[in-house]
């Protein structure tokens, strides 16, 4: 597909001294108002070198490039050169590119196979996989897909919270009030009950905290009974987690969690000692980060037990040595901002120049309408319940509306789960939001079901077209004169913009950039659908319009796939 910014820069560079084509390309803009052209070039920067007023410079450039066949029209407006691309050349180029590439449309190779790690989801073992985990899970999955689409070699890591003092509490609670049969029957809900009870009882029996600490210390030393209980809790939890991941269509390359790095921490402590970074404070060992505007980082408690920060440093060192990553991306809530700043600074102080390649992608928190979620108090909404309810309600809507579908259960799953994912990815990730059933399951407006329905509508048009749809695959059958109307051209421009939008979303670690673009694409297709008669008698016109329908369908499907969503053919 022609890079029009690049071509425009080359054309202008022939008539401008003192600026390279690369510099000019960086200056070329896309006007918000389409009446001002498809592209615009501001001439303010040239005033000093050419010693002329910017409007005069713009007028000279406009006159010199106006005859180039790539342009339909060139205008000088004040200090800008406004350029309208030849619709015929543009539309044909876009449609040909999409129909040739099919499911590869939107992909690029800017990553050149460089290794990238994306750590996401990372729920805590023996605790609920609740609605709060959806943010890391689906944002991380989309970032993983965006980076793969950009040509990076991505490793997906689920850094399970499978270590720490909470396991001392869990084992303590299980020994006092537990029942093996209950855990086998409903692992997470039962273990949550024990964990909640522990925090209720510790209010009046503070000695339970000491008991839990002692149990965790035995676990850290590999004591058989504690280790077996911990492994059992981990195995049972993973069974439940994987059921949810299967519903979301998410897979991981590694489940190496906190426990995986427990034997790698002594080396980190030695490295910190050798660099003279460790200090003693009230029996504990810390790294003083106050000179860098941060509170001290606690590396080891006074009882000798380790902390998250030690494990995270060990994990980063292991990943660099094992994967030699180009980027090590962590999709973790903004509550952990200071934690990430601290351990990344420590890695820098250890002398590792790759410290900067560890990237924390923060996101806002989810709260319930009745207040903040709390695992300790058992106030959570299970993610599996959210997904099941979304699927069930979608099934009822399909029945009520008499939707034409080959498989009602499959469509309900695609649309219901897609609605939850799309709603999650439609807003800027850093914003906090309140979880609401009504909003998640509202299928009107700029929602996942709306975009999926648009894809199904395009599929329906192509089915109804019969043999003409197959002919639209051959670009030699397409006459762009039939797809140069205002609605067709706007649709083609949004399809054209998809590959760059994918890059922008990936580089900003912001799936909502892509989500908004897919909504715009769907709305544009629906305008084209309503404005144009597609299945007309004129065969050449029909085939040409069907080619644009196919291109839009492919673009929407590929965009949804990068969000982790499916695109139903019937709906």
pLDDT digits (tens, 9 = 90+) for 388-417: 999 999 999 888 887 778 799 999 999 999
Q: Which uninterrupted H or E stretch holds 570?
A: none
Q: List the structure tokens of 379.
A: 């106030």
% the chain with pLDDT above 90 = 81
Q: Are 552 and 129 in contact (CB under 8 A)?
A: no
Residues 6+ positions from 90 with CB-CB distance below 8 Å: 4, 38, 489, 492, 493, 496
Of 440 and 205, the structure prediction assigns the larger pLDDT to: 205
Pick from 504, 514, 423: nearest CA to 135:
423
Q: Measured between alpha carbons, how far is 150 from 510 in angstroms, rounded to an integer?
A: 14
CB-CB neighbours of 392 under 10 Å:
12
CB-CB neighbours of 429 under 10 Å:
22
- pLDDT of residue 210 exceeding 80: yes
| Whole-number pLDDT of residue 136 | 97
| Whole-number pLDDT of residue 1 | 84
530 is catalytic: no
Q: Which of 92, 127, 413, 493 is catalytic?
A: 127
- pLDDT of residue 16 exceeding 70: yes
**26, 70, 85, 104, 266 from 5: Cα distances, Å:** 9, 12, 11, 22, 53
| Whole-number pLDDT of residue 366 | 80
| Whole-number pLDDT of residue 531 | 95
| Whole-number pLDDT of residue 112 | 98
Coil, strand or helix: which one is 480?
helix
127 is catalytic: yes
Average pLDDT of span 135-150:
98
- pLDDT of residue 308 exceeding 80: yes
Q: Are 257 and 128 in contact (CB under 8 A)?
A: no
Coil, strand or helix: which one is 281?
strand
Residue-wise pLDDT tens digits, 492-521: 999 999 999 999 999 999 999 999 999 999
Residue-wise pLDDT tens digits, 408-442: 999 999 999 999 999 999 989 999 888 777 776 67
User: Angle CA(55)–CA(56)–CA(57) in degrees, nearest 5?
Assistant: 90
Pick from 433, 399, 395: nearest CA to 416:
395
**435, 510, 557, 561, 562 from 104: Cα distances, Å:** 35, 21, 11, 11, 12
Domains of the chain: 4-85 (3.30.1360.70), 405-563 (1.10.730.10)
Residue-wise pLDDT tens digits, 367-394: 767 655 555 555 678 899 889 999 999 9
Q: Measured between alpha carbons, how far is 553 from 161 in angstroms, rounded to an integer?
A: 40
Q: Which of 92, 130, 145, 159 is catalytic?
A: 130
Residues 6+ positions from 233 with CB-CB distance below 8 Å: 125, 126, 167, 170, 187, 191
| Whole-number pLDDT of residue 305 | 67
Q: Which of 87, 133, 145, 471 is catalytic?
A: 133
Quote the DSSP letter at residue 378.
T
User: Angle CA(221)–CA(222)–CA(226) in degrees, nearest 5?
Assistant: 110
| Whole-number pLDDT of residue 61 | 97
Coil, strand or helix: which one is 278?
strand
- pLDDT of residue 224 exceeding 90: yes
> 280 phi and psi, to 5 degrees?
-95, 140
| Whole-number pLDDT of residue 376 | 55
276-285, 353-362, 366-375: segment of lowest average pLDDT: 366-375
HSE-CB for 496 with a 13 A CA cutoff: 22
199 is catalytic: no
- pLDDT of residue 300 exceeding 90: no
């Amino acid at each position: 597909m022609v890079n029009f910014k690049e071509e425009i820069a080359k054309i202008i560079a022939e008539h401008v001294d003192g600026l390279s084509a690369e510099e000019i390309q960086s200056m070329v803009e896309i006007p918000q108002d389409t009446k001002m052209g498809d592209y615009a070039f501001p001439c303010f920067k040239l005033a000093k070198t050419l010693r002329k007023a910017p409007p005069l410079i713009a007028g000279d450039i406009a006159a010199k490039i106006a005859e180039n066949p790539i342009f339909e029209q060139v205008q000088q407006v004040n200090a800008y050169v406004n350029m309208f691309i030849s619709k015929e050349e543009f539309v044909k180029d876009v449609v040909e590119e999409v129909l040739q590439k099919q499911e590869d449309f939107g992909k690029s190779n800017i990553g050149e196979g460089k290794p990238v790690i994306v750590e996401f989801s990372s729920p805590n073992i023996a605790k609920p996989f609740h609605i709060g985990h959806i943010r890391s899970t689906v944002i991380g999955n989309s970032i993983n897909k965006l980076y793969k689409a950009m040509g990076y070699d991505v490793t997906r890591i689920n850094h399970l919270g499978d270590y720490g003092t909470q396991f001392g509490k869990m084992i303590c609670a299980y020994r006092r009030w537990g029942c093996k049969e209950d855990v086998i029957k409903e692992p997470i809900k039962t273990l949550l009950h024990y964990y909640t009870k522990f925090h209720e009882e510790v209010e009046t029996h503070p000695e339970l905290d000491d008991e839990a600490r002692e149990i965790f210390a035995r676990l850290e030393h590999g004591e058989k009974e504690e280790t077996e209980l911990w492994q059992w809790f981990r195995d049972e939890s993973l069974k439940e987690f994987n059921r949810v991941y299967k519903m979301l269509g998410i897979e991981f390359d590694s489940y190496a969690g906190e426990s995986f790095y427990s034997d790698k921490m002594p080396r980190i402590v030695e490295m910190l000692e050798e660099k003279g970074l460790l200090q003693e404070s009230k029996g504990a060992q810390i790294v003083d980060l106050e000179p860098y505007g941060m509170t001290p980082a606690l590396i080891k408690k006074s009882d000798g037990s380790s902390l998250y920060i030690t494990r995270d440093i060990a994990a980063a060192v292991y990943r660099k040595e094992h994967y030699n990553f180009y980027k090590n991306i962590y999709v973790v809530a903004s509550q952990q901002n200071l934690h990430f700043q601290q351990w990344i600074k420590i890695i820098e102080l250890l002398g590792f120049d790759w410290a900067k390649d560890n990237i924390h992608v923060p996101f806002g928190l989810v709260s319930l309408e009745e207040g903040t979620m709390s695992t300790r108090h058992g106030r959570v909404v299970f993610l599996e319940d959210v997904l099941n309810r979304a699927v069930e309600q979608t099934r009822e809507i399909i029945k009520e509306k008499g939707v034409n579908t080959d498989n009602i259960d499959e469509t309900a799953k695609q649309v219901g789960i897609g609605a939850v994912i799309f709603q999650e990815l439609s807003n800027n990730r850093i914003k906090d939001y309140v979880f609401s059933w009504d909003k998640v399951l509202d299928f009107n407006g700029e929602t996942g079901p709306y975009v999926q329905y648009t894809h199904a509508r395009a599929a329906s048009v192509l089915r109804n077209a019969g043999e003409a749809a197959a002919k639209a695959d051959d670009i030699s059958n397409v006459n762009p004169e039939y797809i140069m109307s205002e609605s067709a051209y706007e649709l083609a421009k949004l399809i054209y913009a998809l590959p760059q939008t994918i890059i922008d979303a990936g580089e900003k670690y912001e799936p909502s950039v892509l989500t908004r673009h897919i909504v715009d694409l769907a709305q544009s297709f629906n305008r084209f659908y309503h404005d144009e008669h597609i299945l007309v008698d004129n065969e050449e016109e029909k085939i040409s319009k069907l080619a644009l329908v196919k291109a839009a369908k492919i673009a929407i499907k590929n965009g949804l796939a990068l969000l982790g969503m499916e695109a139903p053919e019937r709906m």
